[in-house]
Structure 1
Amino acid sequence: MPKIEAGSVREHRAQRLAQLIDATEAILNEGGVEALTAGAVAARAGIARNSIYRYFDSIEDLLELVVTREFPAWIDAVEQAIAAETTPEEQVIAYVRANLEQAARGTHGWRAALSRGSLSLSARERVKKLHIALHEALARVVRELGHPQPELTVAVLQAVVDACIRRIDQGDEPTTVSEFAAGATRRLLGHDDRTEPPHHP
């Protein structure tokens, strides 16, 4: 049995897996997917090569872990932003802003490109389900608005979010993109954004 370096087996496993994901990200950033091998990951993480498969089944599984690493914190941030507002309209705007803030803070563009180019179809489907879970937060709030076309509203609002995230990934200034998205959201919800006070992060 390997030496435990944390307070419990569960903590030890979590630490090891984080080391392996860190090592994988470093290799991908330096040499791309072509440089990613089990041996390279083990060497970078300082773990015996025959030990790394205790934590994942294949390099493909490890790639999926890299792609989805930021999802829990991202979803939590969006949920907290929604919960901080008291009206459905402001909750929708909070959803939009929080998603863009997470895109600006993290490495979304790199992970999205990795997902499109390096994951299997089944892995991409699992990533898609994580996105759907996030979209459900928006759908819940839109239903509270009592909009006559809730599904279409959610689809259009999410399209705004996705388009603005791509702009941030491409290098647009996040605050400018966020203000544009918030104004577009107000108009989609039937509000004139000129009557709203400016947002101060």
Structure 2
Amino acid sequence: MPKIEAGSVREHRAQRLAQLIDATEAILEEGGAETLTAGAVAARAGIARNSIYRYVDSVEDLLELVVTREFPAWIDAVERAMAAEGTPEGQAAAYVRANLEQAARGTHGWRASLSRRSLSPTARERVRNLHTSLHEALDRVVRALGKPQPELTVAVLQAVVDACIRRIDQGDELATVSEFAAGATRRLLAPDES
């Protein structure tokens, strides 16, 4: 039995997997996906090459774990922001604002680029499913507003979020982008005046 470096086997496995993800991320940031090999990850993490396969099935699994690393915290931040609002309009605005704040504080652009270029179609589908789970919260809010064509409203709001995230990824200031997105959200969700 290998020596564990934590209070339990479960904690040891979690720590070791985190080390592998950290090593993978560092290699990707330094040299790109072309430089990512099991041997490079093992050397960077300080473990034997074949030990990687106790934690993941392939190097591609490590790529996917790097791409999705920020999702749990991102989703949690969006859900907390929405829960703090008392009206559907406020929740929709919180959804937009929280997504932009998460994009501004993280490494979204780099991870999104990595996802598009380096993940397998199956892994990209799993990433899309994570995005879909986030979009479902917006869908519930828009439906609560009773807007006609809720699917189209959600799609347009999400397009605003996506476009604004791209602007943040390109270096635009969060405050400027967020103000624009908030205005677009208010106009889109304003009561019909017909």
**TM-score, normalising length: structure 1:** 0.93
The aligned residue for residue 169 of structure 1 is 169
Instruction: Give the distance between the partners of 1:28 and 1:53, measured in 2 at CA.
Output: 19
The aligned residue for residue 60 of structure 1 is 60
Instruction: Give the distance between the partners of 2:7 and 2:78, measured in 1 at CA.
Output: 31
The aligned residue for residue 46 of structure 1 is 46
Matches within 5 A, 1:114-129: 114-129=114-129
Instruction: Give the distance between the partners of 1:2 and 1:73, measured in 2 at CA.
Output: 32
SS in 1 for 2:25: helix
Verify: 1:143 aligned to 2:132, yes or no.
Answer: no
The aligned residue for residue 92 of structure 2 is 92
1:144, CA displacement in angstroms? 1.0
1:50, CA displacement in angstroms? 1.4
Identity %: 86
- 2:111 aligned partner, one-letter code: R
Verify: 1:12 aligned to 2:16, yes or no.
Answer: no
Q: Deviations over 1:86-111 (max 9, x none)?
A: 01001000000000000000000000
Superposed CA RMSD in Å reads 0.8
Unaligned runs of 5+ in 1: 192-201
- 2:116 aligned partner, one-letter code: R
1:11, CA displacement in angstroms? 1.0
The aligned residue for residue 71 of structure 1 is 71
Instruction: Give the distance between the partners of 1:185 and 1:10, measured in 2 at CA.
Output: 44
The aligned residue for residue 23 of structure 1 is 23
- Larger deviation: 153-162 or 44-53? 44-53
Instruction: Give the distance between the partners of 1:33 and 1:155, measured in 2 at CA.
Output: 32
Instruction: Give the distance between the partners of 1:190 and 1:140, measured in 2 at CA.
Output: 17
Instruction: Give the distance between the partners of 1:121 and 1:172, measured in 2 at CA.
Output: 31
Q: Deviations over 1:142-176 (max 9, x none)?
A: 11111121111100000000000000001101111
1:10, CA displacement in angstroms? 1.2
1:6, CA displacement in angstroms? 1.2
1:5, CA displacement in angstroms? 1.1
Runs of 4+ in 1 over 4 A off after TM superposition: none
Q: Deviations over 1:33-73 (max 9, x none)?
A: 11111011011011111111111011111100100000000
Instruction: Give the distance between the partners of 2:141 and 2:8, measured in 1 at CA.
Output: 40
- 2:51 aligned partner, one-letter code: S
SS in 1 for 2:29: helix
Instruction: Give the distance between the partners of 1:96 and 1:49, measured in 2 at CA.
Output: 43
**TM-score, normalising length: structure 2:** 0.97
